[in-house]
Structure 1
């Protein structure tokens, strides 16, 4: 049974290419439809947290100053995640920060990245939109009510992943969903899902 690592970053900006660095990370391990472990930590990258980001996340410069160094936290979370496929809601965002920090540590990442946002767009096209908070409400998923903090968002995304896997199994008559199938489905259009699953099943 595959173990997925669902991760979420809080950061000082939108892209490491423009100098943004992480302020917090959480990783939640999901196996066999259940959350089995988690990791969370603030971190200090020596970069000021802009006021608008402080208002958005609740993470202040004082909190970051008292946090462990970014290299320590990223080393710990990389060991915690190991080779697991990584799942994020809007993986294009989190993947940039994961790859950048891994490169700074001299440990280029080999993890596959699954995007729950892309999968939700394909499998739940009727949702009002595909923001994490909207999907949590629309699907009745568990949540702590504290969006835009890493652990709360990672736990919500973990429950979304479990829901997505269940929806795929029910819709296509599968007993399990492999990471390779999720990776294929997130690249397919919502009109190509049956063909995508059929090709995957035929090849396995």
Structure 2
């Protein structure tokens, strides 16, 4: 019964928590007979308490987009850099080392001589999730597409079983349901492969504040860090193209004549489109570089 997953006390998989919740709600229903006001108050109270807890968690994540803070210890921290050569998309998974989870990703300004000449190779990334808050929502699909001199040379994409019910609100957007991810691997199995695939490449995302926040948060929970430099095509497009109706990826792709197909909101399709969007931005920035205008 999927409705039970939305009732406080039944969200956890622990049977004893569900038993306590069942006894509590039964007691509340019995109270309804002699006192409707008291019974209703008891029934509503858990929803209020858990709603406040969710809001507090959401506020904590907003204040720290990259990853949750971890306490410093007296032990010296060592950062290990991934340097794995990818021979093809079917390479067997290799265990990734535990990394420092407090690093900050450098945001690249493509309107500088340094980066205009070094953005010929990058990895475009897109995620699909169960919601908007990484503290309570999960990743259900990851795609990473590797570009070199404007061409796709490799890709890595996979569905992920989030271990929780996928809300209908998310399924309406990405068309991923509980049945879709049935039998898909867990994020702990996927993440080492993804880290080996991206290596130390520049990461490209459309609305990076969302994808990078989710990726770093869940990677940190598994003991990994993603510290690659990144480019966000969303603010870049806003600076370069001021006359677009809006700056959703589908709209940008249509305006730039990259794609008119209605295949957005699946990770692989969006990652494949995000690469050409950046290439268009770089070409435009090169043409306007003589004006010295900063883009991001």
TM range (shorter): 0.7 to 0.9
Asked whether 1:25 is paired with 2:123, we answer no
Residue 195 of structure 1 deviates from its aligned partner by 4.6
SS class of match (1:165): helix
TM-score, length-normalised on structure 1?
A: 0.81
Separation of aligned partners in 2, 1:169 and 1:34: 19
TM-score, length-normalised on structure 2?
A: 0.57
Aligned match of 2:134: 16
Matches within 5 A, 1:1-204: 1-2=118-119, 3-17=121-135, 19-142=136-259, 144-172=261-289, 194-196=292-294
Separation of aligned partners in 2, 1:21 and 1:117: 23
* Number of corresponding residues: 177
Larger radius of gyration: 2
Q: What 5-or-longer segments of structure 2 have no aligned partner? A: 1-117
Separation of aligned partners in 2, 1:54 and 1:76: 26
1:83-120 per-position Cα deviation (integer Å, ceiling 9, x unaligned):
11111100000011110122122111111221100100
- Relative to its length, the structure with more helix (as a share) is 1
Q: Which runs of 4+ in 1 moved over 4 A?
A: none
Separation of aligned partners in 2, 1:196 and 1:146: 32
Q: What 5-or-longer segments of structure 1 have no aligned partner? A: 174-192, 198-204
Q: Is the 8 A contact 1:5 1:28 kept in 2?
A: yes
Separation of aligned partners in 2, 1:56 and 1:97: 17
Q: Is the 8 A contact 1:29 1:35 kept in 2?
A: yes
SS class of match (1:61): coil
Q: Is the 8 A contact 2:254 2:260 kept in 1?
A: no
Separation of aligned partners in 2, 1:27 and 1:166: 22
Aligned match of 1:202: none
SS class of match (2:262): coil
1:172–1:112 Cα change, 3 Å: same
